[in-house]
């Protein structure tokens, strides 16, 4: 039991929900983008998810939860650009030519990029942390240079630029996460999440219009709609609420373990459900990346700042 009388078993159950739901988003994306343009699908998803979360915030906290200063709004807007729009948007585009499991392994590098950003802004990471980042770079090199293999492609095949685009998405996601820990943020994390989803969704939808997306909604396979609804409602609301609950009761370092559990779940789901396959070199690279994330998260435990490594994936 914690100080408020809530059992830690519920917090661990909530963390388990985060493991499974966030780990499954890559497979769900695969089903969605097979039928819908990626920018359109992601944009509408975040607009719906942000609206639902915003409505819940209004019901339970009232309009005052959305009161922000201009600097706080600027942080929310920047987070919307870098997290849902840049991070998720690029991943969904890349998954047209990258397997869902491979995309998850590349996104697992986010904690390492956050360490790099900290070092660039004057922080001095521990030697173990630096070693973990170096190990992660080696793993990423294996993943990026291994080349495509049968079964490791996306919905429409393989492309050399696909993994690189996911890596750029990871850098954007890390930048957005890092910025929100250093800039003025709204008092309510739920209001921040709702705002960034709405802003990110609007940016993605604008991008969809600019590239000329004209989806034939009547011809979309029902499985794609179910996958889209799952991400827009279940993942956006349930997973984030479970994450916030777990973070309130468990150490940040414990919650941050999602960074190396989610990719494993994504790979297993991709193999079992979508028939994805990986070469020995790709699997070795993925294992090295996950080991590096374990090293980075573990080495940061004693002095890690709230939220710096406990980041939510696309």
pLDDT tens digits along 261-308: 999 999 999 999 999 988 889 999 999 999 999 898 888 765 544 444
Supply the pLDDT for residue 301.
65
Q: What is the mean pLDDT of residues 227-249?
A: 85
Supply the pLDDT for residue 85.
96
Q: What is the mean pLDDT of residues 255-264?
A: 85
Supply the pLDDT for residue 302.
52
Supply the pLDDT for residue 312.
47
95, exposed or middle or buried, with CB in 10 Å at 0-12, 13-18, 19+?
buried
pLDDT tens digits along 40-88: 999 999 999 999 999 999 999 999 999 999 999 999 999 999 999 999 9
Supply the pLDDT for residue 307.
45
CA distances from 136 to 70, 129, 132 (A): 37, 10, 6
CA 24 – CA 12 distance, rounded (Å) = 18
CB 93 within 8 A of CB 39: yes
Classified as helix, coil or strand, 12 is: helix
Supply the pLDDT for residue 27.
95
CB 180 within 8 A of CB 79: yes
Task: Indicate if the pLDDT at residue 251 is higher than 90.
Answer: no
pLDDT tens digits along 185-234: 888 888 888 999 999 999 999 999 999 999 999 999 999 999 999 999 99
Supply the pLDDT for residue 185.
87
Task: Indicate if the pLDDT at residue 126 is higher than 70.
Answer: yes
pLDDT tens digits along 134-174: 999 999 999 988 877 777 788 988 888 999 999 999 999 98
Task: Indicate if the pLDDT at residue 37 is higher than 90.
Answer: yes
Residues 6+ apart with CB under 8 A from 91: 26, 29, 103, 107, 165, 166, 169, 314
CB 143 within 8 A of CB 293: no
pLDDT tens digits along 101-121: 999 999 999 889 988 998 898
Task: Indicate if the pLDDT at residue 248 is higher than 80.
Answer: no
Supply the pLDDT for residue 306.
43
CA 27 – CA 206 distance, rounded (Å) = 25
């Amino acid at each position: 039991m914690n100080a408020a009388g809530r059992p830690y078993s519920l917090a661990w159950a909530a963390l388990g929900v985060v493991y499974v739901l966030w780990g499954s988003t890559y497979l769900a994306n695969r089903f969605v983008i097979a039928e819908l343009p990626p920018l359109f699908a992601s944009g509408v998803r975040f607009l719906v998810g942000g609206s639902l979360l915003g409505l819940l915030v209004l019901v339970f906290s009232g309009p005052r939860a959305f009161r922000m200063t201009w600097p706080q709004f600027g942080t929310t807007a920047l987070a919307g650009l870098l997290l849902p729009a840049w991070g998720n948007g690029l991943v969904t585009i890349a998954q047209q030519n990258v397997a869902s499991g491979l995309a998850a392994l590349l996104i697992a590098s986010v904690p390492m990029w956050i360490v790099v950003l900290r070092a660039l802004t004057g922080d001095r990471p521990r030697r173990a942390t630096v070693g973990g980042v170096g190990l992660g770079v080696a793993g990423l090199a294996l993943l990026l240079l291994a080349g495509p293999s049968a079964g490791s492609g996306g919905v429409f095949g393989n492309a050399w630029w696909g993994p690189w685009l996911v890596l750029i998405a990871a850098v954007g996601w890390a930048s957005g996460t890092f910025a929100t820990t250093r800039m003025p943020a709204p008092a309510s994390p739920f209001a921040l999440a709702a705002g960034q989803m709405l802003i990110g969704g609007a940016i993605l939808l604008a991008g969809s219009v600019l590239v000329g997306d004209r989806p034939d909604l009547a011809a979309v396979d029902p499985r794609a709609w179910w996958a889209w609804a799952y991400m827009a409602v279940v993942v956006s609301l349930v997973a984030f609420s479970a994450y916030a609950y777990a973070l309130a009761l468990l150490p940040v370092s414990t919650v941050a373990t999602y960074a190396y559990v989610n990719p494993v779940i994504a790979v297993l789901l991709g193999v079992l459900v979508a028939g994805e396959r990986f070469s020995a070199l790709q699997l070795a690279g993925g294992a090295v990346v996950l080991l590096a994330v374990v090293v980075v998260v573990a080495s940061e435990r004693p002095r890690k700042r709230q939220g710096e490594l406990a980041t939510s994936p696309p």
